[in-house]
Amino acid sequence: MTETHDPLSVDARAPGLLAHLGGARPLGPAWFERGLAATPERLSVTVEGAAIEVLAWGERGRPGLLLLHGNGAHAGWWAPLAPLFAADGMRVAAMSWSGIGGSDWRAAYHPAVFAAEMLAACDAAGLNEGPVKPVAVAHSFGGFLGVYAAARHGDRFSAMIVVDSPIEPPGAAGDRPPTRTRPNRVYATFDEALARFRLAPAQLCENLWYVDHIARGSIRPAEGGGFTWRFDPFVFQRLELGDPSPLLQRASCPVALVWGDRSALMPPATVAYMRATAPPGTPAFAIPDADHHLMLDQPLPFVAAIRGLLAGWRR
């Protein structure tokens, strides 16, 4: 392809990544199509009045792996990769945070409630039925919540893998999603919504078969007709996130730090701070040729990296 990977080159006014496909679904490689064909168990668990969507693969009683998505994403982001971990002999679950995907929305959001959702998802999917405590893989916004859980509930996890989640020094003005003042846009047709799908933060991605999959799972019918996005646009206005900078050093379970080597969210200063404040012996490395959404850019190297971490912790 002739596209550049420089995230700053993406024009927010331009058509979405899939617009030129006209609604057609691009065929992915064989491993990807096999992963999508592995139908997950669909579970639901209620946490403080909200139904939380949970997908699960593999047999109960195996070591547990919990997959956590970022802001505006959904559990289905992990659907092509989860069967690869299940084939390794794991019980794998992916959940959608409240306000996102197939989970209910809330009037207000808080890290403590998100952490309760994590623990409830582990229980509902049987991740605690294995011989060891589950490991969590937490991407982007999910990584902030994963660090919170590692600091407050580290006794419930064998380890926490934090993926491209920038934790800044105390007092630093880290990037936050822009304040929303309007509800999600409604599109006349499903294909029109699909054509407008973009990644946030903005980046290009060569693996359009993966982008198409997550985009289709990001759209729902709108009340009154048409189609809209499956996330609460006001999550960050209703979220009391607090300062995550002290949490990494307070983690009471092993932690690993993984990021995309082109990620605009992980500049050298941020990486250096996270390395310095993480518990001693924390693995920390970049996935080559990847932006923020590294599981889309380099899905198989990402899986190999997670497998390597899991193998190391099992010794």
287 bridge partner residues = 260
Q: Domain for residue 247, yes or no?
A: yes
| Strand segments (E) across the chain | 41-47, 50-57, 64-68, 91-95, 135-139, 159-163, 219-221, 227-229, 255-260, 284-287
Asked if residue 25 is part of any domain, the answer here is no
pLDDT of residue 5: 37
CA–CA distance, 87 with 261 (Å, rounded to integer): 28
Cβ atoms of 190 and 22 within 8 Å: the answer is: no
pLDDT in tens, 257-313: 999 999 999 999 999 999 999 999 999 999 999 999 999 999 999 999 999 999 999
Q: Across all residues in the chain, what is the average pLDDT? A: 92
**SS3 call for 175:** coil
> How many domains does the chain divide into?
1
Q: Residue 160's pLDDT band (boundaries 50, 70, 90)? A: very high
| Reported pTM | 0.94
Residue 282 belongs to some domain of the structure: yes
Place of tokens 């952490």: 115
If you write DSSP's letter for every residue of 145-167 in order, what string do you get? HHHHHHHHSGGG-SEEEEES---
C-alpha–C-alpha distance, residues 139 and 129, integer Å: 24
Q: Assess if residue 31 is contained within a domain.
A: no
Asked if the structure places residue 262 within a domain, the reply is yes
Residue 256's pLDDT is 98
The confidence score (pLDDT) of residue 181 equals 73
In angstroms, the first-to-last Cα distance of the chain is 42
Helix 141-152 vs helix 111-125: crossing angle, to nearest 10: 80
pLDDT band at 9 (very low <50, low <70, confident <90, very high): very low
Nearest CA among 158, 175, 154, 173 for reference residue 292: 175
Tell me if residue 276 falls in helix, strand or coil.
helix
195, 172 contact by CB (below 8 A): no
* DSSP for 3-50, written as a single string: ----GGG--TTSPPTTGGGTTPPPP--HHHHHHHHSPPEEEEEEETTE
In a domain, 22, yes or no: no
Is it the case that residue 174 has pLDDT exceeding 60?
A: no
For residue 125, give the CATH number of its domain: 3.40.50.1820
pLDDT of residue 8: 37
Dmax (CA) for the chain in angstroms is 56
- For the segment 24-70, what is each residue's pLDDT rounded down to a tens digit? 999 999 999 999 999 999 999 999 999 999 999 999 999 999 999 99
Pairwise CA distance, residues 50 & 41, whole Å? 19
Name the residue range of residue 243's domain.
Answer: 40-314
pLDDT over threshold 70, residue 248:
yes
Give the per-residue pLDDT at 11. Answer: 52
Q: Count each helix (H run) and each strand (E run) in the chain, helices first.
A: 9, 10
Residue 29, domain member (yes or no)? no
pLDDT band, residue 242 (cuts 50/70/90): confident
Report which of residues 9 and 157 the model is more confident about. 157
Q: Rounded to the nearest 5°, which phi and psi values hold at 223?
A: -65, 130
Q: Taking residues 140-159, what's their average pLDDT?
A: 97
Does 14 fall in a domain?
Answer: no
Give the pLDDT confidence score for residue 169 in this predicted structure.
85
